[in-house]
Structure 1
Amino acid sequence: MKKIASLFLAAVMAFSLAACGGSDSSGAASQGGSAAGSAAVSAAGGDKVLKVAYTGNNLSNDTVVEALTPIKAYCKEQGWEFTEVEYTSGDVSKLVDNLENLLVAETDIILFQSASGDAVSDVVQRLKDSGCVVVSYDDADHVGSYYLTQSDEEIGTAIGEAAAAYVNEHLDGSADAVALGLPSNDVLTIRANAFIKAYEENCGGKVVFSYDLSQYAGDYASIADSIAQAYPDTKVILSIADTTLVQLSEGLTANGYKPGDIFCFGCDTIKEVREAWLAGEETFNTGSVYTHLPECLYDGFLKAVETKQTGEFSEAEIHQEVIATSAENVEEMFGNK
């Protein structure tokens, strides 16, 4: 299997300002259906200073930083404006406000992590009608001009199956587990339910409790305390994201746990986890799932750039394939990334 790094580099080299796949037969209709929107897109010549923006629920998230880095570099090279605006996870009203403000600012390209496609559909449509090209992800309703798709059931299943396989191989087939979920987010609820189901169906272990991350407001020390006090037999932690596990690790250490006492499985294969695996360091993070967000978001950005310059649309859907990762395949997957 070719390394993701090589694929990403090849993608970056293959795309240019006017080279991103064929145009969609629906043309401007898929953007917004308005003549004004089509004219605004077509008028975006190569010399125009474009306004590009991103809004998501955690700008410091390692995966988001990695995804935005090449986009920022591209904009800087072109002399374009780049703006990033945060909103708190689940705060749909703030996301809508951010998009409204970017509409007023006459932004040309917007990339955003959706909290609710239904709630943002109106402002996104008005953005598209104005000539803005919108790239969305974590968006079940696919409201963007281009949208990243992933199966959160597939992601959750991969997490649960990886954890179960580890338990079967190393822990005699049975181990108590706790889950870290976010019930307020419909997409992440699908992911959490899937990894709980996959874990329990593929080994003799049980998920004895599921923590609602929204109730802890980032207080991972309290979660670690709770695990140690209420569920001391826990050997496995299943999580919607690697970032939560990295933040939890300090609390686990404070409670006397060390890598090898408890085994954590999450999503995104963030840089901090990859680097620990590559260096052979001990870490609580035992397995993860990679969804190609950095590569796919960059692909969406390049499609948006071409659309602004030509007025033509490529295939709207950009699918994120799921790959299970661990210390065993990290060199093959990310050795040069």
Structure 2
Amino acid sequence: MKKLLALILAGAMALSMAACGGSDPSSGTAASGSASVTVSSGGETYSAEKFFDMAADEIVTWTPVNEVTKKVGLIVPDTTSEFYNGIIKDAKAIFEEAGYEFVSDGVNKDATRGVTAIESWIAGGIDAIIIMAQDQTCDLALKKAMEQGILVVSASAKIQYYHHWLMQDNFDVGYQTAVMAADWMKEHGYEDGQYICVSNNTTEATADKSKGVVDGMAELLPNGECVGEVVLVSPDQVRADLDTLLMQYPDVHCIVAMHNAFSLIGLEAAKAAGKAVKDEFAVFGSALSEQVLSELNKEDSIYEGEIWMGDQGRNLAEHTLGLLEGKSYPHDWAALNFPITRENLSTYYDDYYAELNAQE
């Protein structure tokens, strides 16, 4: 089984940070030769300005116009986060094995750092820039990169200027988490039971996941009762609110969180409240981490399931390399939201990529 890096609480908090921020000083004019793509509708060639109008399912085939440098850069929101460092490490290994120089940078709460990195890479020569943006404030710098003949691959939040986007259906991540939780409630005779949701509304992506959880539970468990939606202000506040709700509502049987940073807090709160009893209480989340895998390996743990969206470092690297080396992808590519339980714990990694490959 492939070993995943732990997603600690700092990584979850990084979800609320922007991968680029502040005003963008870049305003360079288009280079004399722009990189191009061939799209499925008649084989037209599009310039950089056209990409934000391209349909999600149009097929992109990268055609380089510059001398190949065999160099790729990745920008993440926060290099102090173990989660993002794990993505950097995984991507770096794949690129270097393929013979590419790999560079990376993190915004790390500096509003201009992402733009500065992009500008530096453009000036120094680079084949592709991968950006895990949380907003659109790097868009002008990315547009300039595209006009200079650099491949731009996006992940995380929606941005305007990119050639290929490895997206997540964030609402569906939350909804599929709710599917697991609602099924568990029904199977254990709690279809009219009480539960708690944990949300994070600090970014559009996290808010969509949270809405998927809350709406999904209401739809799938119509006779159940949500006794409280805990909305992130701080990790300590999440724990305090969960402690209070578990004390006020002793008949709660489930905590459903939009991310495992909060479901793991819920696990600790349930233990402290004396409710960590197998088949009487359950916790669910999304994203996957070493701690979650450890809990799922314990037969007596009340951590019952997790939605996984795949190995982001691997996906980013493989798609970028694929485009650089002539492979075609849809303009927007959606990750598979895959449920992991004790039943498929030993095979989930291979199962995920087998199903993903079958869909491509």
TM range (shorter): 0.7 to 0.9
Q: Does 1:272 align with 2:295?
A: no
Partner of 2:198: 180
Q: Aligned to 1:272, what secondary structure does the other structure show? A: helix
Change (3 A) 1:28 1:162: same
What is the aligned counterpart of 1:43 among 66, 76, 83?
Answer: 66
Question: SS at the partner of 1:226?
Answer: helix
For residue 195 of structure 1, report the CA deviation from its aligned partner. 1.8
User: 1:61-210 maps to which residues of 2 (within 5 A)?
Assistant: 61-62=82-83, 64-77=84-97, 78=99, 80-87=101-108, 94=110, 97-106=112-121, 108=126, 109-117=128-136, 119-141=137-159, 143-203=161-221, 204-210=223-229
The answer (yes or no) to whether the contact 2:79–2:105 under 8 Å persists in 1 is: no
Whether the aligned pair in 1 keeps the contact of 2:155 and 2:165 (CA below 8 Å) is: yes
Query: How is 1:235-254 mapped onto 2 (pairs within 5 angstroms)?
Result: 235-254=253-272
From the superposition, tell whether residues 319 and 336 of structure 1 become closer, same or farther in structure 2 (CA, over 3 Å): closer
Q: In structure 1, what is the Cα distance between the partners aligned to 2:79 and 2:267?
A: 19
The one-letter amino acid paired with 1:159 is T
What is the CA–CA distance in structure 1 between the aligned matches of 2:229 and 2:82, rounded to whole Å? Answer: 23
Which residues of structure 1 form unaligned runs of 5+?
6-21, 34-39, 89-93
Unaligned runs of 5+ in 2: 4-36, 52-62, 353-360
| Number of residue pairs the alignment of both structures matches | 297
- Name the CA distance, whole Å, in 2 between partners of 1:66 and 1:176: 36
Deviation string, structure 1 residues 41-84 (Cα, Å, up to 9, x no partner): 53232xx352522313576354x455443311134443614223
Take 1:333 and 1:321, find their aligned partners in 2: how far apart are those partners? Answer: 12
Bigger fraction of residues in helix: 1
Amino acid at match of 1:110: I
User: Are the aligned partners of 2:75 and 2:106 in contact in 1 as well (CA < 8 Å)?
Assistant: yes
Q: 1: distance between equivalents of 2:328 and 2:149?
A: 13
1:321 pairs with 2:336: yes
Separation in 2 of the partners of 1:336 and 1:80?
31
C-alpha deviation, 1:103, in angstroms: 1.9
Residue 159 of structure 1 and its aligned partner are, at CA, apart by 1.2
Give the TM-score, by structure 2 length: 0.69
2:19 is matched with none
CA contact under 8 A between 1:32 and 1:125: conserved in structure 2? no
Distance 1:110 1:177, change over 3 A: farther
8 Å CA contact 1:180–1:237 kept in 2: the answer is: yes
Kept in 2, the 8 Å contact 1:300–1:318? The answer is no
SS in 1 for 2:174: helix
- 1:37 is aligned to none
Residue 304 of structure 1 and its aligned partner are, at CA, apart by: 5.2
What percentage of residue pairs aligned between the two structures are identical?
13
> Structure 1 stretch 288-297 or stretch 180-189: which is displaced more?
288-297
